[in-house]
Structure 1
Amino acid sequence: MSLTMSLARAVLARRPKTLTSVETAQKRVAERDAPAAVSRALLRSCHVEEETVGGFPVITLTPREKGSGTELVYLHGGAYIAAIIPAHWAFLGKVVAQTGATVTVPLYGLAPEHTVDDAFAFVPPVIEAVRRRAAGRPVFLGGDSAGGGLSVGLALHGQDVDGLVLIAPWLDPSASNPVAPGLVEIDPMLEIPGAAWAGQQWAGPHDVTDTRVSPIFADPTGLPRTLVLQGGHDVLLADTLKFCERAMDAGVDLRFRVEPSGFHVYPAATFTPEARRAVKLIAEFMRG
């Protein structure tokens, strides 16, 4: 573990964990911040455009220099109840710098006001518009945590992309994996009860085991090339391992890395060597 990763873990360990109970999750919704604005660093390095699609904002980051023509549609995490935060923009800035990709960020509606049905109506037209703009160049879909799970759900239900980039994907909001609770003690960030409540809100009228909500229950056959980056000290590790094993058994072209000391969505700690390695892996994967 690098010194900076160790310091980041120490800071996280001093903070109260999120989603420790239904009450803390509900409080998070009640006190929810507005989506973080695009950082000044990104405004300097990228052309930033914002449009509205189906009533939701879509932000596109196009590198001012050394663009590769590759496209990435990125869905942020936050247990489906929290908005995009500055760490997401910082991470995406590193991805743009390393890959030269144009990154499109659909800010999907959050639970409990919105559900998976709203996301499945909103995101596919955004991806289709990106495909038209790409004119045959590669289009990737990815995200972290909840955004990673949503990316898998979309790909499993017919969304055509050239690859998936998944960072600690939340694949089982039903919280049914009996191994997961054993990871809570070493995870400095997350607990299960509040997350399970958030997953139920996101499911809306559907059962939380619906494969659009919990893609862990789907047959992964036919998924595109996939990169999965996962921290070893993350309660979601158990589900990620299960998903990767099933995907490889199904013949999916999958690359998988566990950062042994990594906490949840560790690549967002952009000041660490571990995060720099993660971004390098993403760039290599997107270059094919």
Structure 2
Amino acid sequence: MTVTRPMPEEAGILKFLEICSSVYSDDAVSQSIEAQRAQYDALCARFSPPIPDGLTFADSIIRGVPTRRYRPSKVTTPTLLLYLHGGGFVVGSLESHHAICAEIAEFAGAELVAVDYRLAPEYLWPAQTDDGFAVLSALAESGQRIVLIGDSAGGNLAAGLAIRTTQAGVSGIAGQVLIYPALGGDLSKGSYIEMAEAPGLTTADVAYYREVLRAPQDDPVAAPLNSASVKGLPPVFITAAAFDPLRDDARNYAARLAKSGVEVWFREEPQMVHAWLRARHMSEGARAGFRAVCEAVRRFVNS
């Protein structure tokens, strides 16, 4: 039986996918960890424009975790942004999301701290959330409000940290911005079936990353969708891509949060694929989606 790959129609995103295929192979997850990281680094470099003029950044270690702190040309708020990068918990670094973090910080007028959490398979769960929590706890001690931001695997970490801080009684989380997050949905249902062969990320890829990470899917920090309760969580902006097996994770989490009384903004990009953040300078849909993300961040920092 031939499986038809679902494809968007927007010219900009199709060009983006064409470039991606020339740099990052469709079967990347079948290759060695080293090869995956090398290809991902090359892909990120291909879509990494110069950072905004006047913005500065510096690397530092916070409680044993490497971080990078961005300071925009004009800081207009004391609220901090904490960014957790995507990459399936296997690839990605401070460099992979450098321009993305810089542009968000500049738009929001807020300092942003990016977390270089440990990667699998060298470090299994909960190393990744522990690193994020260590940095978050250190920043929270200063009394500053914090907005959690993450894409894909980083969206999982950001959502999990919101739950973890609530459990630990850590206050000061002003909001969450979750960008096509992986939240622990059932791989045999919904978009995991409908978009199983979507470009950019397949359901088989998601299964691979879960297997590598070995996170317990009954733990709410690892799989927020499976949390017994989501009441009392900080307000959240969630954006999903229509052509993405993770789409229903975002849809279902937004619906569950809203039902529990959490303030939620949900947006679904009808022509976007997973990882559309990198297409923000060449696709109209991605450009609009990225602006919505930045506006959500700015709304939280000014709320």
* TM-score bracket relative to the smaller structure: 0.7 to 0.9
In 1, are the aligned partners of 2:62 and 2:138 still within 8 Å (CA)?
no
Q: Percent identity?
A: 23
Match among 279, 290, 295 for residue 269 of structure 1? 279
Give the equivalent residue in structure 2 for 1:147. 154
Matches within 5 A, 1:200-279: 200-203=211-214, 207-218=216-227, 219-271=229-281, 272=283, 273-274=287-288, 275-279=290-294
Give the equivalent residue in structure 1 for 2:4. none
SS of residue paired to 2:165: coil
Gaps of 5+ in 1: none
In 1, are the aligned partners of 2:182 and 2:246 still within 8 Å (CA)?
yes
1:171 is aligned to 2:183: yes
Shift of 1:260: 0.7
Q: 1:265 & 1:220 partners in 2: Cα distance? A: 26
**RMSD (CA atoms):** 2.9
Q: 2:32 & 2:291 partners in 1: Cα distance? A: 30
Residue type at the aligned position of 1:194: D
SS of residue paired to 1:164: strand
Q: 1:268 & 1:247 partners in 2: Cα distance? A: 28
Give the equivalent residue in structure 1 for 2:99. 90
Q: 1:50 & 1:92 partners in 2: Cα distance? A: 13
Shift of 1:62: 1.4
TM, length-normalised to structure 2 = 0.80
Shift of 1:92: 1.7
Shift of 1:265: 3.2
Match among 198, 206, 226 for residue 195 of structure 1? 206
TM, length-normalised to structure 1 = 0.84
Q: 1:54 & 1:287 partners in 2: Cα distance? A: 28
Per-residue displacement from partner, 1:22-45 (whole Å, max 9, x unpaired)? xx42525132239779x7844853
In 1, are the aligned partners of 2:233 and 2:262 still within 8 Å (CA)?
yes
Q: 2:148 & 2:181 partners in 1: Cα distance? A: 12
Residue correspondences, number: 278
Residue type at the aligned position of 2:270: P
Give the equivalent residue in structure 1 for 2:72. 63
Shift of 1:281: 3.8
In 2, are the aligned partners of 1:69 and 1:100 still within 8 Å (CA)?
no
1:4 is aligned to 2:16: no
Per-residue displacement from partner, 1:226-252 (whole Å, max 9, x unpaired)? 011111111110111111111111111
Residue type at the aligned position of 1:167: I
Q: 1:190 & 1:237 partners in 2: Cα distance? A: 11
Give the direction of change, closer, same or farther, for the CA distance of 1:280–1:268 in structure 2 (3 Å limit). farther
In 2, are the aligned partners of 1:17 and 1:191 still within 8 Å (CA)?
no
- Worse-superposed segment, 270-279 or 113-122: 270-279
1:184 is aligned to 2:215: no
Give the direction of change, closer, same or farther, for the CA distance of 1:130–1:97 in structure 2 (3 Å limit). same
1:113 is aligned to 2:122: yes
In 2, are the aligned partners of 1:173 and 1:200 still within 8 Å (CA)?
no
Match among 30, 41, 59 for residue 34 of structure 2? 30
Give the direction of change, closer, same or farther, for the CA distance of 1:173–1:80 in structure 2 (3 Å limit). farther
